[in-house]
Structure 1
Amino acid sequence: MPQGKGLENHTAGSGFILLGFSDHSSLQGLCFTVFLAIYLMVLTGNGLIALITMVDSSLHSPMYFFLRNFSILEICYTSVTLPKMLLGFLMADGRISFLGCATQLYFLVLLGSTECLLLAAMAYDRYVAICEPLHYTLTMSRGLCIRLVMGSWVVVVPVQIGQTYQVFTLPFCASHDLHHFFCDVPPLLELSCADTFWNKVVLYTIILVFVILPFSFIILSYINIIRAILKIPSVLGRHKAFSTCSSHLGVVTLFYGSATVVYLKRRSRDSGNIDKYLALFYTIVTPMFNPLIYSLRNKEVRIALKRLLWKK
């Protein structure tokens, strides 16, 4: 699409304006308080999960190794967006530099993709534990667990560098207004003056590889897990087996449910507000609920937490 007379490209110094809650300017103070409380809950809750799975010897198993890495990932994930949001509420200023927006987008999509792969690795761990319990110790060796975690981080790095570069080499129109709380691919593509067809092809290819395929693997794993659980003769045995999976299944549902709606549904002019509120769900609300889900549903985590608090 050729640029008209009234259209100008962004330069590295011009940046964007994150509108966020600008349509509710009178609530800036309340929003700051609420999101500060959420951020502190994310840091405290996930930090405690990471700490107790590290220091308590009874939690030195593959399942809790994955949980520790997942909790650290959740802290990093929320730290990409929440501090900037809090500063915007406090200063009533949603401006973000071109480089700052590119950096935020890169780490957002990097950590989001890593989370999808890590959730799939956690599902595989539960599959082996319940469907192949006699081979669990041999299959889920420390070396394999480390490779699965490292692979979840490393494999997405070049892909997301490429996507971020592709987005920020587009020409952006005169409007600096980004109708979102943070820099994300769909709202940025809406501001471009150029044809974004190939950007969308890349976006949906990445979604297929790093979101849909891991989610499909998780679904297949849980189909086999449920079949194996139903074959357990005792009610107590079935309850114990399911309780080890329910926490992970709850986090998967929260994360994938909101993220799928945002990225895969057809976008329209009226969908902007809905999309940005749903985005808050998978970037902020899910990390907040992660430690609550695991501490409330997992007896071993509750006991380890009590031991840690008594020591203190």
Structure 2
Amino acid sequence: MANELDFERPLLELRAKIAELQNFMKQSGVDLTGEVAKLQERLDELSKSLYQELTPWQRVQLARQPGRPTTLEYIEGICEEFVELHGDRTFRDDPAIVGGIGLVGGRPVTIIGHQKGRDTKENIYRNFGMAHPDGYRKALRLMKQAEKFGRPVILFIDTAGAYPGMSAEERGQSEAIARNLREMAGLRTPTISFITGEGGSGGALGLGVTDRIFILQYAWYSVIAPESAAAILWKDSTQGPRAAETMKISAQDLYALGIADDVIEEPLGGAQKDPKRMIEIVRRKAVETLDELAQLPIADLLSARYDKYRDMGTFTER
């Protein structure tokens, strides 16, 4: 309840009222079942209408909510077996990106993704999911290994952006991301990406050039975070909600623009409300898509991937 957002307060108040009446019934023995049922019905109706009419900024807030499944939790939920692999063979292992080999639906796959922490200590260790160049080089190493052995690649994207610090720039942050974009465009194996929370800038795109891009209902994907865009456009980062309205960063906008191939519905209120159900939905989507892509010859796969990205941004003036 401590993680409820401001716009969710009406729901919180109704839940508190229901709990109060139920507690009173237990203590007094007075039957208030009818009143509780009416309040519960009102709560269900309000929940549906509230989450159907979210603004882009409210969706951004939901995407950042604690409790949303992390990459390692998705891996645990969708894999029958998994072995994590470490290191970029150049400098170090970056904990902000995790990856390894697993079995999904009985099929060997390589899985890679941004990893955020669950508490302050873990977030510091994971650098809040903001990868250094070592993380992108680790990801590319695992993708090239998957290509060599004919394994499909599944990627989970959830980052505010690549780490912008001096240490990352000194080790070639821009070059590492650019290399990933180039190599993923021609990777000779099926690739799928799931945007599960935040999809910020090149940090997200460094794992996002794939045959299929799926985005969760309340996730966002953009060249820049709304607050950063507002700071540039209006010199005021508090204008983030205004920027989110104009940037077309929501899942529905991205699907309409042809960037996302599908929007994956989340449990009512977001993935953090029912992580197990969310993970199962993603598992089914992954298995279904792996089966679909496995039917395509590699030449056709590469041709379709090329056309997919060439077509992005195409528009017609009237």
Which bin holds the TM-score, normalised by the shorter protein?
A: 0.3 to 0.5
Give the TM-score normalised by structure 2: 0.33
Specify which structure has the bigger relative contact order, considering alpha-carbon pairs within 8 angstroms and separated by 6 or more residues: 1
More strand by share: 2
TM-score by length of 1: 0.34
